[in-house]
Structure 1
Amino acid sequence: MKTSFKTEMIANKFEAYNDILEQTLGFRFVFQTFLSNPKITRVLDYGCGPGKVSYRLAKKTGVHVLAVDESKEMINIASKKRSHPNINYHLIKNDNLSFLKDNSVDGAMACYVFINTEKKEQILRMMKEIYRVLAPHSPFVILDTNPDSTGIEFSTFRNGIKGKTYMSGEARQEWLHINDQEDLVLHDFHWPKSVYEELLTEAGFQEIEQLEPTLKDIPEDELKIIQEKHHDHHWKSEWEFPPFVIYKSIKLVK
């Protein structure tokens, strides 16, 4: 069983989740890829959910974001709460980006998409479709929960059961801690790091780079600002263990 973000209850509860950890150790590293290249003006957010990442990227960089998702409920939340002149939200079906031409976007990101995907074949299909619409020399960035940190209790979530060894593709629960509510239990899938590299390569991507940041990788002054803004938040295992894994890759001209 996989999580259906197409249900209103799950979509609303996911919207209520405080993603401070994802912002600190995930999105900032994704955005750096697009900030470092002024030629990137059109970015695909594949699996945009409630639009939080698209909205932050549009505000921070000024790029035009094409935000897509298969959940009508998520797209509705994103359109209502995170409308922005530089964002276009699109409802897609069957992983298909048919509204986009080949080589038509300058960058792409997929945040917490593949952990919710049950089959390797479907992940590969998504990657190939993203590859198709990317212009040559354009980056693709993946952000997912770290398969090597399964069972570790982080400040905002726990992915999997402590001490359990998961097989490739095995179902794995994730508990998102939501203030003043019961945890939102997501039904994800365990994909080892080797699977990401294998599928990216098969889809045609090159120059694959892997990042696994912890709080020790955040400049002290920036971390202080974050802590002042979220004074009631208490960090946990993210000091020592990376909660996420990031893959950066490039579509090169063959």
Structure 2
Amino acid sequence: MGTQWKDTVDVADGFDAYDDLPERLIGYPAVFAALGIGDPSVRTVLDYGCGPGKVANRVVGASAAHVVAADISAAMLDIARTRRAHPRIQYHQIDSGGLPFLADDSVDAAMSCYVFINVGEQAQIKAIVAEVHRVLRPGGRYAILDTNPDTTGIRFSTFRSGEPGRVYAHGERRQVLLHQPGGGVLELIDHHWPRQTYLDVLAEAGFREITVAQPLLDPAAAAQAETPPAEATRPPFLIVSGVK
């Protein structure tokens, strides 16, 4: 069993305190580019697995879009509603993975950041992707961001996912260390899914034009560091997207 996100206040607080620097510099810009965040045609964005609302808040900061932000964790949503309330963000709690508050073909774009790696059964991942496909309008794009299964065990600037040198099986539990500002480490347990899993579940749900991105830190940003971080040469994130 992985980390219990649903009702764990300490985990929610620790995750919110985590400085998501690599995600801000590398991961989220790639997701936003894939979805066309900022384009006037992208008016409603689904953030499936919104956590404490950091990404949803960045979407409304970067565009005029409205965000439907949904998560299974009441503790995460309490943080999001308290610290990241916004008139263009609607927060919803998910029960059993479904999105009954959204009609078919009702959102222009959708994303899931750090969702698949926190699901231990591929059947459940398939159900999530099918539900996102249902609510996404034809022609809309879905983007998934997770830690890169091909760089498991690498110590990046603020996190390490998996033990160095270890080869993980399909869906196997994996230790994650999030290094907190000012010291301290939040230890989590997620699941290892190879790249092909992402491609397969999107294709099975009916997504087309599936693309894979593995962005690196911009060379100019890397040059500012006294010691080049791992993100300059080893991609920390896998971003998979497809069109309905």
- Partners of 1:83 and 1:182 lie apart in 2 by 28
Secondary structure class of the residue paired with 1:129: helix
Secondary structure at the residue paired with 2:51?
A: coil
Q: Secondary structure at the match of 1:35?
A: coil
In 2: Cα distance, 1:157 partner to 1:4 partner? 19
Corresponding residue SS for 1:9: helix
C-alpha offsets along residues 205-229 of structure 1, whole Å, 9 cap, x if unaligned? 11000000111xx373xx38x96xx
| Superposed displacement of residue 236, structure 1 | 1.9
Q: CA deviation at 1:235?
A: 5.3
Output the amino acid matched with 2:128: M
Residue of structure 1 in register with 2:28 after alignment: 27
Aligned to 1:4: 4
**TM alignment of 1:1-254, pairs within 5 A:** 1-5=1-5, 6-32=7-33, 33-35=35-37, 37-215=39-217, 218=218, 220=220, 223=221, 236-251=229-244
Q: How many residues align?
A: 242
Separation in 2 of the partners of 1:135 and 1:9? 37
How far residue 36 of structure 1 moved from its aligned partner, in angstroms, is: 6.2
Q: 1:53 to 1:234 in 2, by over 3 A?
A: farther
Q: Indicate the SS of the match to 1:144.
A: strand
Checking the alignment, whether the CA contact within 8 Å between 1:154 and 1:235 is kept in structure 2 is no
The alpha carbon displacement at 1:38 in A equals 2.3
Shift of 1:181: 3.9
Q: TM-score, normalised by structure 2?
A: 0.95
Question: How far apart, in 1, do the equivalents of 2:173 and 2:219 lie?
Answer: 36
Distance in 2 (alpha carbons) for counterparts of 1:24 and 1:188: 23
Q: SS in structure 1 opposite 2:112?
A: strand
Distance (Å, rounded) in 1 between the aligned partners of 2:37 and 2:83 = 24
Measured in 1, the distance between the counterparts of 2:94 and 2:2 equals 18
CA contact (8 A) 2:99 2:131 kept: yes
Per-residue deviation, residues 130-175 of structure 1 (Å, max 9, x unmatched): 0000010000000000000011110100010111110111111110
* Cα distance between partner residues in 2 of 1:240 and 1:36: 29
**Is the 2:116–2:146 contact (alpha carbons within 8 Å) kept by the matching residues of 1?**
yes
Distance (whole Å) between structure 1 residues aligned to residue 171 and residue 80 of structure 2: 30
Matched residue SS, 1:151: coil
TM-fit CA distance, 1:248:
1.5
Structure 1 length as normaliser, TM-score?
A: 0.91
Long gaps (5+) in structure 2: none
Please identify, of 34-43 and 187-196, the stretch whose mean Cα deviation from structure 2 is larger. 34-43
Distance 1:90 1:234, change over 3 A: farther
